[in-house]
A and B are shown apart, each in its own frame.
Chain A
């Protein structure tokens, strides 16, 4: 399985265009934010450190979607192998199908992890370059844990999606659509507070949005304490709900435990569904 995962990793990282396109969603967010969104959020605020706070918000959002778009890119190898019948060569060798499929999943997970960590590091460097502070060591550790879980969830979610595709063109279309949609579904392009009610509910039930919210809570904690010092609590709560740091379900406010549970739960659920779908198809 490791052997196949290494093979898949080599193939992925040697295709420069695949790596680029898997990060397209991230580049779009970056571009949008730098060009318009950033000013729109920060521009008329009189609170101190607002710029830095929103930088953290942005990076948390980016880190949360990187794992989705990059695992999607890595899983493309599986679709290509199937479409070109390249997997015949694997099936004619004494390896179980579980090993073969496992190789793709492991590769996607590793790609997601590497790229997400990379985007986290680059994001931190960006914050630093804008005059912000580097996160505390314990906060970084928390982030690493969430990144690990979020990548597991993403690879299992994308594995489930991939299990439906056998043509390359259908898959690339789906992956472009998802790469763009995921920015909306996690409330990055447009903050959740600006969305109509129905879309807000969609975001609140979308698993990836939960890793986004949790990462925001972790990354923005320190900056928020500084910015909102001496500001009424209601104001801060309203603002944080508006930009999707917390989700409100009626009266009930989401907790880190809920986000973690949603992430772990969907990782397991989608993995089971995908395995079922794949074993149904691979005959």
Chain B
């Protein structure tokens, strides 16, 4: 079967590899090189000036960069913790064999398949000062106590906009991780819970002593996925703040800052070099986070 084998392999791999190299690998590696240059982008490749790490030094001194990074940090703390807590909670509730479980699963998972743009537009209405549900509900509750609640611009106020953006991300993410954990939990043999029950363990003990440890690998994966998502947030911030990054850039994140610097047509004299530098920083942050979280969540893996 050797005849023509290599020719066949080559012919089948040629186009996918070519496309991938040109449009994925070259850009990825090109970003590293580009981040070391100064380049207005209207000139051709050879007019790019090599500037060494000057772009990175400029980043270090850039207040907006640290502002965006800080926000990513906040998302990084809040998004995984809240999402995983809710997802684990709901998954645990599900394994009790409830009626209508299928209905709930189908409903909870749906936000995950919706377009982020549609979700963000939807939530920009929900957070709307006058017609939005959030203010409507708060207003109704407040008036029950005889108070008055005036229209509050959740997305327009620099103190609340980041929180609102994170809330939307959580809303979309919980269903996915819940389904992930349910799938993982279904692999845990019933005998373990039986034995624990006989030994007198209550639901809480069963959860923390059996479910969580056996689900740990899945939880670790979820943490990495969510950390990566926390470093993205591009669509959420862009649509919910109309591209501005929020009042006084209160919801700006690295991805939106990078877009703004590279394509925003501002007064940046070196859009592509500077933008690439931010992209490279993002890469190293993500790689570093993935490695760190893998390290810190390392446990002796329980085999069963």
Does A pair with B?
no
Residues in chain B within 8 A of chain A (CB atoms): none
- What residues make up the interface of A, taking CB atoms closer than 8 Å to B? none
